[in-house]
A = this chain, B = another copy of it.
Amino acid sequence: MNYQPINFAEKLSKFSEQWSPKIIAQMNDYHLKLAKIQGEFIWHDHPETDEVFIVIKGHLKILFRDGEVSLDEGEMFVVPKGVEHKPVAESECHILLVEPAGTVNTGNVVNEKTASHDTWI
């Protein structure tokens, strides 16, 4: 039989909501998630886990309390666990996240930006 690949563009075409990561795959107890982001997120950290950001399209800046990193398409960064960060994207940016299943987008903070952590697309 022919198995189906997971196509990032096709998955991204299925939603428009920003700051709301959608699960596209599971590997062991980790999820791979696509998200569309634009504007400024909130300062937060993930006390229990590192978090992988891979830029699929656009430009992402991640602010830290002591600096920042700028990511273009084809670039990635691992935010270490417990490190406060604030993602910022001037124009809409598409990212792939890799993190443990159950990881909440706002980490240690719960507010109006907190999205579902178990929505598959």
Q: Which residues of A contact B (CB under 8 A)?
A: 1-9, 24-28, 30, 32, 49-52, 56, 64, 66-72, 74-78, 81, 98-100
27 CB contacts below 8 A, A to B, read A1-B66, A1-B67, A2-B68, A3-B77, A5-B69, A5-B70, A5-B71, A5-B77, A6-B76, A6-B78, A7-B75, A8-B74, A8-B76, A24-B76, A25-B52, A25-B76, A26-B50, A27-B49, A27-B52, A28-B49, A28-B81, A28-B100, A32-B52, A32-B76, A32-B98, A56-B74, A98-B98
Given the complex, which residues of B lie within 8 Å of A2, measured CB to CB? 67-70
Number of copies of this protein chain within its complex: 2
